């Protein structure tokens, strides 16, 4: 999750820009850079690693005599933290990017989906590229359209781009202007006294100004020290209200949400979009060439073994359905802390997948090492670059959820599930187990997930809050589901016990009659995952059994099944329709919210539950 800061005003801005980047560090990044315009020339500095490396690179430029950055009084500039998506983690791939003459500099967040075709066109016209990134295309496109008006050139470039992104551009001939464009990724304006900021999030400029203006999707904004002009992509002017942000420093870090957990629940559409988009380059193709698995290796996989702990284990359980259904490869699941001690039978025709958001969980790492020693190819799915898991694995698939501060995993879970969906589809496609039009159908559904996750949060939030109010003083929660709904229940129950401390259990609904039914009476809330699936009928019968014991059924259904589910439940929540295998990524959202609101009503610290700490990466 990259970060953008831009400034135009009356003060020297280099340090303001770096201070702004510091406030965006929590999003995670692997390189950073800035460009400053002064005396008719733009100078850039970029560095791999953290902001202290960028600062050191700026200082080095002084020794090299590049006065513009080291000693600058520049009052306009752009800065960026990059999390590698297209192209490796190198200085050349760090932002800002420019055209060959260095006249246009840009910083971009998100992904330009049609970058390959645009790059081919631009190369045919004689453009030369200096990075492997999709972002650099935008600088060249602006240059191609530039006829003296930066806003017009940005508008023309914007019209050619597909994907989800936000970018800001600066041109050497316009020392008092920055132009930004927003398409799905956030961009916000900070209005100061004789100065204006443009950033991907408010904390980047909150120390300098609390006056903000929002930019909506599909809008282009031109800012100067004393001006803000918002237009649509078609060039129509838009009036925009000014808002005053009342957050204190702590709230600012939380993006205005009361807790990190709530902020991270709301970041899930972005996190999933970042994880999937550039790996779906065509309407009917998944690209996971980053795994560096040859066609022979993929064809030779006889079995997949997934090892993980806690929430990551639940992501694996969801992934098992996707891999087995689409790729027809048998998948075994193991809790990593058990796997390592049972002398497992594993060898060279196994692909062993370790799922760990932190990349540092000791049991998962040990299980991965054991499998590798026995000859298996080990793939790590992780959120943290440079973590131990990335060093111990043969292949790595990164989720791109950004740093998760709340101890309870939320956005890392949905990103892991999204990553395994990609893997399942890629394996199916590579082994020829799935028809091209089915791949296209599923890719369209995958691409719609970020929007549907956002809709799920919006549609269920208030309703879940009311449900939490009726049950937060309960002594026990039971979660029941079958098939693809079972991992959702396991995850819902884990979240509930982890942050609300209310004992909670999850069961395969068919197991109810074998004992757990004894737990039920009229005081027990029973959460049933009854989303679209091949076993929905059976789940409905289980719900009837529960109600016959007087317990309250809280059902999670799929939109369109309101009548059927509503009749069988005391309270019901509905998530958008999608392919049944993809339903868990939506169904889990109300369960995250239910645990969250229950804990809040009990006045508990959801970000730091007792006895628990987030695993952090040791450098
Ligand atoms: C639950 C939670 C934990 C982690 C588990 C594994 O909300 O966060 O259950 O999922 O400790 O951690 P990672 O994924 O870092 O290996």
- pLDDT tens digits along 351-389: 999 999 999 898 999 999 999 999 999 999 999 877 889
354: closest CA among 391, 321, 402? 391
The atom number, within ligand 1, closest to the CA of 311 reads: 10
Query: Rounded to two decimals, what is the model's pTM?
Result: 0.81
For a mutational test of ligand 1's pocket, the pick from 312, 368, 397, 606, i.e. the residue with the most ligand atoms closer than 8 A to its C-beta, is 312
From the list 447, 497, 538, 614, the catalytic residue is: 614
Give me ligand 1 centre to Cα 22, in Å.
26
User: How much distance in Å is there from the Cα of 607 to the middle of ligand 1?
Assistant: 14
Q: Is 447 one of the catalytic residues?
A: no
Percent of the chain residues topping a pLDDT of 90:
77
How far from the centroid of its chain's Cα atoms is residue 437's Cα?
27
Mean pLDDT calculated for residue range 598-609: 94
**Ligand 1 centroid vs 25 CA: distance in angstroms?**
22
Residue 449 pLDDT greater than 60, yes or no? yes
543, 535 in Cβ contact below 8 A? Answer: no
The residue whose CA has the least distance to atom 15 of ligand 1 is 358
Enumerate residues 6+ apart whose C-beta is below 8 A from 274. 1, 83, 85, 110, 111, 400, 401, 402, 415
Pocket test of ligand 1: the residue of 313, 354, 361 to mutate, having most ligand atoms within 8 Å of its CB, is 361
**Of 260, 268, 309, 360, best ligand 1 pocket probe by most atoms within 8 Å of the beta carbon:** 309
Q: Mean pLDDT check: name the lowest of 50-59, 151-160, 312-321.
A: 50-59
234-248, 317-331, 550-564, range with the lowest pLDDT: 234-248
389 CA to middle of ligand 1, Å? 14
Look over the chain and give the mean of its residue pLDDT values, rounded to a whole number. Answer: 93
Compute the distance from residue 307 Cα to the ligand 1 centre, in Å.
12
Give the closest residue (by CA) to ligand 1 atom 13: 356
Q: Judge whether 614 counts as a catalytic residue.
A: yes
Cα separation, 576 vs 578, whole angstroms: 7
Query: What does residue 551 show for φ and ψ, rounded to 5 degrees?
Result: -75, 155
Q: Which tokens hold the place of 122? A: 């631009």
Question: Where does ligand 1 bind, in terms of residues with CB under 6 Å?
Answer: 309-312, 356-358, 361, 364, 408-409, 494, 498, 615
Which atom of ligand 1 lies nearest, measured to the CA of 413?
Answer: 10
Q: How far is the CA of 438 from the centre of ligand 1 (A)?
A: 33
pLDDT at res. 434: 95
List Cβ neighbours of 288 (8 Å cut-off, separation of 6 or more): 279, 397, 422, 423, 426
From the list 2, 13, 185, 528, the catalytic residue is 2
The pLDDT value recorded for residue 66 is 53
**For ligand 1, atom 10: residue with the closest CA:** 311
Instruction: Tell me which of 311, 319, 354 to substitute to probe ligand 1's pocket, judged by most ligand atoms within 8 Å of the beta carbon.
Output: 311
Contacts of range 328-333, beta carbons closer than 8 Å, 24 or more positions apart: 328/428, 328/431, 328/433, 329/301, 329/302, 329/303, 329/304, 329/427, 329/431, 330/302, 330/303, 330/304, 331/303, 331/304, 331/305, 331/306, 332/303, 332/304, 332/305, 332/306, 333/305, 333/306
Q: Does residue 123 have a pLDDT over 70?
A: yes
CA angle 431, 437, 439 (to 5 degrees): 50
Residue of the CA atom closest to atom 16 of ligand 1:
356
Per-residue pLDDT, 111: 84
Counting from 1 in the atom list of ligand 1, the atom nearest the Cα of 412 is 14
> Which ligand 1 atom is the nearest neighbour of the CA of 407?
8
Q: CA dihedral in degrees (366, 381, 84, 458; nearest 10)?
A: -130
Residue having the nearest C-alpha atom to atom 5 of ligand 1: 310
Q: What is the DSSP string of 252-293?
A: HHTTT-SSHHHHHHHTHHHHHHHHHGGG--BTTB---GGG--
Ligand 1 centroid, distance to 567 Cα (angstroms): 36
Nearest CA to ligand 1 atom 12: 356
* pLDDT, tens digit, 9 for 90 and up, residues 60-80: 876 565 555 666 789 999 999
- Write down the pLDDT at residue 337: 93
Peptide bond into 96 cis (omega under 30): yes
Q: Compute the distance from residue 309 Cα to the ligand 1 centre, in Å.
A: 6
pLDDT of residue 618: 42
The rounded distance, in Å, linking the Cα atoms of 453 and 451 is 5
Q: What tens digit of pLDDT does each residue of 452-502 get? A: 999 999 999 999 999 999 999 989 999 999 999 999 999 999 999 999 999
């Amino acid at each position: 999750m990259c970060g953008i800061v831009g400034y135009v005003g009356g003060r020297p801005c280099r340090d303001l820009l770096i201070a702004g980047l510091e406030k965006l560090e929590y999003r995670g990044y692997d390189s950073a850079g800035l460009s400053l315009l002064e005396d008719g020339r733009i100078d850039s500095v970029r560095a791999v690693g953290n902001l202290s490396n960028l600062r050191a690179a700026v200082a080095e430029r002084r020794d090299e005599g590049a006065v513009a950055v080291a000693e600058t009084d520049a009052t306009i500039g752009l800065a960026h933290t990059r999390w590698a998506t297209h192209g490796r983690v190198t200085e050349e791939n760090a932002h800002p990017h420019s055209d060959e003459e260095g006249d246009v500099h840009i910083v971009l967040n998100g992904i330009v989906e049609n970058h390959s075709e645009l790059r081919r066109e631009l190369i045919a016209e004689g453009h030369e590229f200096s990075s492997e990134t999709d972002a650099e295309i935008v600088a060249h496109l602006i240059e191609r359209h530039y006829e003296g008006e930066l806003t017009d050139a940005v508008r023309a470039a914007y019209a050619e781009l597909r994907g989800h992104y936000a970018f800001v551009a600066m041109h050497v001939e316009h020392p008092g202007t920055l132009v930004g464009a927003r398409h799905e990724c956030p961009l916000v304006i900070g209005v100061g006294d004789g100065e204006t900021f443009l950033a991907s999030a408010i904390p980047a400029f909150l120390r300098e100004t609390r006056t903000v203006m929002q930019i909506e999707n599909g809008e282009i904004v031109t800012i100067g020290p004393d001006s803000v002009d918002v237009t649509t992509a078609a060039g129509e002017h838009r009036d925009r209200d000014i808002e005053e942000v009342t957050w204190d420093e702590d709230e600012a870090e939380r993006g205005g949400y009361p807790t990190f957990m709530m902020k991270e629940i709301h970041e899930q559409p972005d996190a999933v979009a970042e994880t999937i988009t550039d790996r779906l380059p065509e309407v009917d193709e998944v690209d996971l060439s980053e795994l560096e698995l040859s066609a022979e290796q993929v064809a030779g996989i006889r079995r997949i073994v997934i090892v993980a702990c806690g929430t990551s284990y639940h992501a694996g359980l969801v992934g098992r359905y996707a891999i087995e259904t689409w790729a027809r490869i048998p998948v075994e699941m193991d809790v990593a802390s058990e796997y390592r001690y049972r002398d497992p039978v594993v060898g060279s025709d196994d692909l062993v997948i370790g799922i760990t958001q932190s990349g540092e969980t000791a049991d998962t790492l040990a299980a991965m090492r054991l499998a590798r020693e026995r000859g298996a190819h080990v793939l790590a799915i992780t959120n943290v670059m440079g973590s131990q898991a990335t060093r111990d694995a043969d292949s790595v698939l990164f989720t791109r959820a950004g740093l998760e501060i709340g101890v309870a995993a939320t956005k890392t879970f949905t990103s892991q599930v999204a990553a395994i969906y990609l893997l399942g589809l890629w394996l199916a496609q590579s082994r020829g187990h799935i028809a091209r039009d089915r791949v296209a159908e599923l890719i369209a559904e995958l691409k719609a997930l970020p929007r549907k996750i956002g809709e799920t949060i919006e549609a269920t939030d208030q309703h879940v809050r009311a449900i939490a109010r009726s049950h937060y003083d309960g002594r026990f929660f039971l979660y029941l589901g079958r098939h693809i709904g079972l991992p959702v229940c396991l995850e819902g129950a884990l979240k509930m016990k982890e942050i609300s401390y209310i004992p909670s259990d999850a069961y395969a609904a068919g197991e109810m009659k074998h004992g757990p039914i004894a737990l039920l009476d009229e005081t027990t809330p029973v959460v049933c995952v009854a989303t679209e699936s091949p076993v929905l009928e059976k789940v409905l019968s289980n719900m009837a059994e529960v109600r016959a014991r007087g317990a309250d059924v809280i059902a999670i259904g799929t939109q369109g099944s309101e009548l059927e589910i509503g009749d069988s439940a005391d309270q019901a929540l509905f998530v958008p329709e999608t392919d049944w295998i993809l339903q868990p990524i939506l169904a889990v959202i109300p369960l995250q919210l239910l645990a969250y609101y229950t804990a809040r009503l009990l006045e508990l610290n959801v970000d730091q539950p007792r006895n628990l700490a987030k695993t952090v990466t040791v450098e």
